[in-house]
Amino acid sequence: MTLKNRPQFSRDIQLFVTRAPGSDFQLDHVTYLHRFTKDATSSPFFSLPLKSAAEINRFISSKSVNLRVYMFEMNEVERRGANRENQRANW
């Protein structure tokens, strides 16, 4: 993902991919987090969490792919809560 403009403040975006209706790909549930800043306006490449090598081959050979990408922007309160949870997990 790439932002078109430089954000004034940092923006935390959570995203995950699920299969769409009519799709039969087997995906693991993985949530990715990226913080966009003035210096980092594009995210790194994230891998698609397919469950097996057979699923990868099926994905590559298919003519069309139906997937859904959900993106959520975290606000300041959610960021603070996430930081507290991470601190608790480190104990």
pLDDT value at residue 54: 92
- Structural domains of the chain, count: 1
Tokens of 50: 């397919």
Q: Is residue 40 part of a domain?
A: yes
Q: Is residue 61 part of a domain?
A: yes
Distance from C-alpha of 56 to C-alpha of 18, rounded to nearest angstrom = 15
pLDDT tens for each residue of the chain, 91 residues long: 888 888 888 888 898 888 888 888 888 888 888 888 888 888 888 888 888 999 999 989 988 888 888 999 887 666 666 655 544 443 3
Task: Say what the pTM is.
Answer: 0.65
pLDDT value at residue 66: 87
pLDDT value at residue 1: 81
Output the CA–CA distances (angstroms, integers) from residue 57 to 7, 14, 50, 52, 61, in the order listed. 39, 27, 10, 9, 6
Residues spanned by the domain of 34: 11-89
